Amino acid sequence: MSTSLSGPEPATQAPGREPVRSGLPRKSRTARNHAPITATGLVVKVVLLGLVAGIAIWAAFPLIEAELWVGLAILAVTTAGLCYLYLTRRHIPAKYLVPGTLFLIAFQVFPVLYTASTAFTNFGDGHRGSKDDAIVAIQSSSVKQVPGSTEYSLSIATKGDPTAGPLVFLLTDPRTREVSAGDAAGVRRLDAGQITVSPTGKVTAADGYTILNFGQASARSPEITDLVVPTSGGAIRSNGLSRAYEGKAIRAYDAGCDCVKDSETGKTWTADEATGSFVAADGERLAQGWQVNVGLRNFNRVLTDPNISGPFFGTLVWNFAFAIGSTGLTFLLGMAIALALHSPRMKGTNLYRVLLILPYAMPSFAMLLVWRDMFNTDFGLVNNLFGLGVDWFGETWSARAAVLLVQLWLGYPYMFLVATGALQAIPRELTEATSVDGASPWQTFRAVTLPLLLVALSPLLIASFAYNFNNFNAIYLTTEGGPFPADNPTVGATDLLITYTYRLAFGAQGAQFGFAAAISIFIFAIVATVSAISFRRTRKQEEVYS
Amino acid sequence: MRIRTAGVVAVLGLALAASGCGDNSKDEPAAKESPKAASGKLVIWADDKRTAALKPFAEEFGKENGVTVEVQAVSKDLQTNFVTASQQGSGPDVVVGAHDWIGNLVQNGAIDPVQLAAEQKSGFNETAIKAVTFNGQLYGVPYATENVALIRNTELAPEAPKTIEDLVAAGKKLKAEKKASEILCLQSGQNGDAYHVYPLYTSGGGYLFGTTANGDYDPKDLGVGKPESIAAFQKIAKLGEKGEGALKRSITGENSIATFTGKKCAFLVSGPWAIADAKKAGIKYDISPVPGFAGGKETQPFVGVQAFYVAAKGKNKALAQEFVTNYVTKPELAVALYQAEPRPPALTAAFDQVKGTDPDLAKFSEAGRNGQVLPAIPAMAAIWDPFGKAEAAVIGGADPAKTITAAGKTIAGQIK
């Protein structure tokens, strides 16, 4: 959610400066429907709408070329709608809501729907394209040179126009230096008197033919690749622009039996639409498969595979502990420092604030790697500094403590910042009143400051929890999920659900996007449930204190 | 006033929104416009270092043949980006990468076999050709090979150890004399490193995959979890933290080379990429094969190969084939790529040409003479993680039999 909200933010801030520049808005309330049209405003509006139209036109061409009429219709309707909306004086609320909604659709709703739809397919390595793609790949990767056949020197020629005339291969046999012309109809010998052959064997001139140079030939590359000259043993194909060979596709697709046949071994692989691959009778499957709809199979696998469901509960418990621990510890430390700096007796607070924010200013990606090296048993700073010999990432509990420590260091400046802000919003009269009533500082904090802080910070804490629940980098860049039990390399002591399933989906034979999408839907469900419950509780709390 | 402001806000927002919406279709123009613009254009994708080395040669190829050649650097996740882009039809014509990508690229239909003439094939190092052969087809044109070796600091250890036991004895002596703090720098980390420990694993008798009749790796014959692999890990366990202390989880990919160049360990197991650091640090070093266990088999490091591939869905396949089969096979290009990054060229002629100026090259290649081609079959992806973790557990003192059996089970479960 936070990304969708932050999307239009820059846009809302930029024009926000404008009233300051041009003085205070006059009669803004009464002029609700009849704001004066200023020249600058008009120019900005025209320029921006022009930009929209320009982008729409730019985006339209490829859509037309790809014949994606639905996409084109959506583009046209959106653009027309936008122009109407901002040229009319009506529909004020829509003017505010539409940009955010568009962002929401483009960056949140669309990806979510796309992920959800992927979860029902076997999309992944070996199953990326269509069945036709797979057949082409199988056939073209089975082309072998006919044993003992001749390798020809090749010149590409045409009888007509170099850019459009029908192509002919001029083939020189390197042993006999005999030249033949080959096209889709077959090969025929050319008379030696009509042709000039260079010492390397290439035909440089031939009566009635125009020889294409590399530049001309490569412009017609697809035609050259597709030109197959039939022979008795197979077919002559080009290999680049200067050589040709007699090759034969060993495997061919037969639409009649919907299968691939190998002409050398006689083996057949029949198409299996359920798995999107060609499978032989003995269970062997061809590597090149295609994308099919597999229904709920990915979801079934998550629920029934003992490799996944077995360690699931333990991982889930640690996942919660990690998310709650990261959020709770950073909050406690951040708040404690904020309270200390909030005290009026504190001096040099600005300096402290700058220093405390430093960890926040460094890229967490790099810091995680630095911390990983600092926890090295023999070379790490932590052990060397304290004279310890702890195998930090080698033992379950020390590894868990280490990742939480790293999280604490990375996360407390944020909590410190937001707690400072929230503290300053709490009126001093309230705390002063409690001290007048004779409350101890602890009682004041428990009864007044903390509840008011939590009202302001609860949503942030929930967001932080949801973020840390899926904090892939924090684990993957430090322990990589380890330490792993010696007898089970699939799930480690610090694995979160996201790192664990990443290993399952992308660790084995290449990427399995469909499976990964199914898992991410499960994780989404868990995080959404936890967040929804927390938000509901927060609302109740707000009702009590506000 | 307020309305005007609102209008500005909204229009600004929707301009952004429209550009956002436009993004969805952004891949299309790249796919659709290229055929028109592609009149004699060749697009090559490579990583940063190789892009720089390739550029002058690509330009020359373009000039000679009247075509445009574009070399584009893809600095991150080249393989994944290539597969995704080629699926959408916006991929390059030629891609440069490691040979163990082949299995995945083939199952995604992203590359086509290349046809090399017999005399072209014979110009290459045999192992390199074997590495780019998959399912009996040649899928790429190799240009460099790489494998790990034992790099030692000759000031601390003048003699190359014959066995790993000799190495441990020498390392322990240095440690006792306070000349070094570690016996051996062989990176493992908390989750292990299958690539670097593999020479020791093979010396102990272990294997990953058996081979089929035609010499390909057979995913059905998994060696991890078999008695040989347990025996190998029992030997490795003796070198671990509870044994000699030569293998440690605290030595990671980040600190192993630095520890060696900092003169804290006399022996480093690493590849040609470590040499630049050693030279910079002014270390006097020598390179020898990774020593095996006394009475064990010879060590067999993984041999990796860098190769050029023809994209199956490229716009200009004929030109791509021409470039890969007739231009990449020239020694000049291989030498230039060697100069950009010193890995032994796969082309024998190029190797002989640079061998004279760089003695390290022959030593690395000697260390890899016995090497095993890193399996390119997709099943290999299932090995790395469980194998590495089992290694780390065994080094840390776990029971080898139990650990390796479990790893074997996990791997077998992930191989389809």
Provide the CATH number for the domain around residue A540: 1.10.3720.10
C-alpha count within 13 angstroms, C-beta hemisphere, residue A456: 18
Task: Please judge whether A95 and B10 are an interchain contact, meaning their C-beta atoms are less than 8 angstroms apart.
Answer: yes
Q: How confident is the model at residue A35 (pLDDT cuts 50, 70, 90)?
A: low
- Would you state the pLDDT for residue B286? 93
CATH number, domain with residue A86: 1.20.58
Which of A78, A129, A484 is closest, CB to CB, to B393?
A484
Is B288 found in the same domain as B410? Answer: yes
Mean pLDDT of A428-447: 87
Report how far residue A544's alpha carbon sits from residue A315's, in angstroms, rounded to the nearest whole number: 36
A-proximal residues of B, 258-287, CB under 8 Å: 259
Q: Model-level pTM?
A: 0.80
Which of B39, B255, B385 is closest, CB to CB, to A489?
B385
The Cα of B48 is separated from the nearest Cα of chain A by a number of Å equal to 22
**β-pair type (A243-249, A235-239):** antiparallel
Spatial contact of B344 and B365, defined as CB atoms under 8 Å apart: yes
The Cα of A419 is separated from the nearest Cα of chain B by a number of Å equal to 31
Residue in this structure with the two tokens 């959106």, named with its chain if needed: A78
CA neighbor of B278 nearest in space, from B193, B154, B192: B154
Residue in chain B closest to A37 (alpha carbons) equals B4
Task: Tell me which of A103, A118, A133 is where a domain ends.
Answer: A118
The Cα of B255 is separated from the nearest Cα of chain A by a number of Å equal to 8
Report how far residue B98's alpha carbon sits from residue A16's, in angstroms, rounded to the nearest whole number: 53
Residue B14 lies in a domain: no
Instruction: Determine the angle formed by the axes of helices B27-37 and A39-65, rounding to 10 degrees.
Output: 60
Is A380 found in the same domain as A490? Answer: yes
Mean pLDDT of B318-329: 89
Task: Please judge whether A85 and B10 are an interchain contact, meaning their C-beta atoms are less than 8 angstroms apart.
Answer: yes
Is B189 found in the same domain as B280? Answer: yes
CATH number, domain with residue A204: 2.40.430
Which of B3, B20, B312 is closest, CB to CB, to A92?
B3
Is A318 found in the same domain as A224? Answer: no
Task: Please judge whether A394 and B396 are an interchain contact, meaning their C-beta atoms are less than 8 angstroms apart.
Answer: yes
Mean pLDDT of B167-173: 92
> Hey, is the C-beta of B191 within 8 angstroms of any chain A C-beta?
yes
- Would you state the pLDDT for residue A34? 58
Instruction: Rank A4-18, A323-337, A434-448, B203-217 by mean pLDDT and report only the highest.
Output: A323-337
| Residues of chain A contacting residue B24, judged by C-beta atoms under 8 Å apart | 71, 106, 110
> Hey, is the C-beta of B413 within 8 angstroms of any chain A C-beta?
yes
Task: Please judge whether A99 and B9 are an interchain contact, meaning their C-beta atoms are less than 8 angstroms apart.
Answer: yes
The Cα of A218 is separated from the nearest Cα of chain B by a number of Å equal to 5
Q: How confident is the model at residue A545 (pLDDT cuts 50, 70, 90)?
A: low
> Hey, is the C-beta of B14 within 8 angstroms of any chain A C-beta?
yes
Residue B8 lies in a domain: no
H helices of A343-449, in order, are 349-361, 364-374, 381-386, 396-425, 428-436, 441-444
Residue A275: pLDDT over 70: yes
Task: Tell me which of A249, A267, A282 is where a domain ends.
Answer: A249
Is B402 found in the same domain as B293? Answer: yes
Residue in chain B closest to A370 (alpha carbons) equals B254
Residue A28 lies in a domain: no
Residue B5 lies in a domain: no
- Would you state the pLDDT for residue A544? 67
Mean pLDDT of A260-272: 89
| Residues of chain B contacting residue A505, judged by C-beta atoms under 8 Å apart | none
Is A326 found in the same domain as A182? Answer: no
- Would you state the pLDDT for residue B370? 86
Is B392 found in the same domain as B254? Answer: yes
Task: Please judge whether A71 and B24 are an interchain contact, meaning their C-beta atoms are less than 8 angstroms apart.
Answer: yes
The Cα of A159 is separated from the nearest Cα of chain B by a number of Å equal to 20
| Residues of chain B contacting residue A85, judged by C-beta atoms under 8 Å apart | 10
Task: Please judge whether B1 and A25 are an interchain contact, meaning their C-beta atoms are less than 8 angstroms apart.
Answer: yes
Task: Tell me which of A249, A274, A291 is where a domain ends.
Answer: A249
Would you say the ipTM is above 0.95? no
pLDDT tens figures, A221-257: 888 888 888 888 788 888 888 888 888 888 989 888 8
- Would you state the pLDDT for residue B44? 93
Is B247 found in the same domain as B128? Answer: no
Amino acid at A307: N
Task: Please judge whether B87 and A307 are an interchain contact, meaning their C-beta atoms are less than 8 angstroms apart.
Answer: no
Which of B7, B32, B137 is closest, CB to CB, to A45?
B7
- Would you state the pLDDT for residue B260? 93
Mean pLDDT of A179-183: 87
pLDDT tens figures, A87-116: 888 888 888 899 899 999 989 899 989 999
Is B38 found in the same domain as B138? Answer: yes
Is A381 found in the same domain as A330? Answer: yes
Which of B104, B316, B416 is closest, CB to CB, to A221?
B316
The Cα of A109 is separated from the nearest Cα of chain B by a number of Å equal to 12
> Hey, is the C-beta of B77 within 8 angstroms of any chain A C-beta?
no
| Residues of chain B contacting residue A307, judged by C-beta atoms under 8 Å apart | 413
Residue in chain B closest to A136 (alpha carbons) equals B109
Is A179 found in the same domain as A109? Answer: no
Residue B3: pLDDT over 60: no
Measured CA distances, A410 to A320, A351, A399, A414 (Å): 19, 19, 17, 8
Residue in this structure with the two tokens 């919907």, named with its chain if needed: A258
Residue A523: pLDDT over 70: yes
- Would you state the pLDDT for residue A25? 46
Residue A211 lies in a domain: yes
A-proximal residues of B, 208-237, CB under 8 Å: none
pLDDT tens figures, A280-313: 888 888 888 899 999 898 899 888 887 777 788 8
Residue B6 lies in a domain: no
Which of B20, B109, B402 is closest, CB to CB, to A107?
B20
| Residues of chain B contacting residue A137, judged by C-beta atoms under 8 Å apart | 106, 109, 312
Element (H, E) at B19: helix B2-24
CA neighbor of A343 nearest in space, from A247, A420, A248: A420
Residue B322 lies in a domain: yes
Is B285 found in the same domain as B200? Answer: yes
> How many CB contacts within 8 angstroms connect chain A with chain B?
331
pLDDT tens figures, A360-386: 888 888 889 999 989 988 888 888 888
Is A176 found in the same domain as A101? Answer: no
Q: How confident is the model at residue A406 (pLDDT cuts 50, 70, 90)?
A: very high
CA neighbor of B25 nearest in space, from A79, A68, A98: A68
The Cα of A279 is separated from the nearest Cα of chain B by a number of Å equal to 12
Residue A543: CB atoms within 10 A of its CB come to: 9
Which of B20, B25, B325 is closest, CB to CB, to A63?
B25
**Helix, strand, coil tally for chain A in percent (to 5):** 55, 15, 30
C-alpha count within 13 angstroms, C-beta hemisphere, residue B194: 20
What's the mean per-residue pLDDT of chain B?
A: 85
The Cα of A340 is separated from the nearest Cα of chain B by a number of Å equal to 40
Question: What residues make up the domain containing B347?
Answer: 33-146+303-373
Is B109 found in the same domain as B73? Answer: yes
pLDDT tens figures, A493-511: 999 988 888 887 876 657 8
Which of B17, B39, B323 is closest, CB to CB, to A106?
B17
Is A74 found in the same domain as A174? Answer: no
Instruction: Determine the angle formed by the axes of helices B227-239 and B194-203, rounding to 10 degrees.
Output: 110
Interface mutation target, options B65, B67, B104, B108, chain A, most CBs of A under 10 Å: B108
Is A431 found in the same domain as A520? Answer: yes
Interface mutation target, options B4, B24, B191, chain A, most CBs of A under 10 Å: B4
Is B131 found in the same domain as B202? Answer: no
Residue B164: pLDDT over 90: yes
Report how far residue B334's alpha carbon sits from residue B124's, in angstroms, rounded to the nearest whole number: 11
Residue A260 lies in a domain: no
The secondary structure of B45-101 as a DSSP string is: EE-HHHHHHHHHHHHHHHHHHT-EEEEEE--S-HHHHHHHHHHHT---SEEEEEGGG
Is B249 found in the same domain as B321? Answer: no
Of A470 and B33, the structure prediction assigns the larger pLDDT to: A470
Which of A12, A245, A288 is closest, CB to CB, to B109?
A288
Is B294 found in the same domain as B223? Answer: yes
Task: Please judge whether A151 and B117 are an interchain contact, meaning their C-beta atoms are less than 8 angstroms apart.
Answer: yes
Number of domains forming the structure of chain B: 2
Spatial contact of A457 and A545, defined as CB atoms under 8 Å apart: no
Amino acid at A378: D
Is A200 found in the same domain as A344? Answer: no
Number of domains forming the structure of chain A: 3
Task: Please judge whether B385 and A507 are an interchain contact, meaning their C-beta atoms are less than 8 angstroms apart.
Answer: yes
Rg (CA), chain B: 25
Residue B323 lies in a domain: yes
Is A324 found in the same domain as A184? Answer: no
Residue B141: pLDDT over 90: yes
Question: What residues make up the domain containing A446?
Answer: 306-545
| Residues of chain B contacting residue A52, judged by C-beta atoms under 8 Å apart | 11, 14-15, 18
The token duo for A111 is: 């990806």
Residue in this structure with the two tokens 């077919």, named with its chain if needed: A235
Is A518 found in the same domain as A395? Answer: yes
Instruction: Please work out, in degrees rounded to the nearest 5, the angle formed at the alpha carbon of residue B375 by the alpha carbons of B372 and B381.
Output: 140
Spatial contact of B241 and B392, defined as CB atoms under 8 Å apart: no
CATH number, domain with residue B196: 3.40.190.10
Is B165 found in the same domain as B89? Answer: no
A-proximal residues of B, 118-137, CB under 8 Å: 135-137
Is A425 found in the same domain as A492? Answer: yes
Residue B27 lies in a domain: no
Residue A18: pLDDT over 80: no
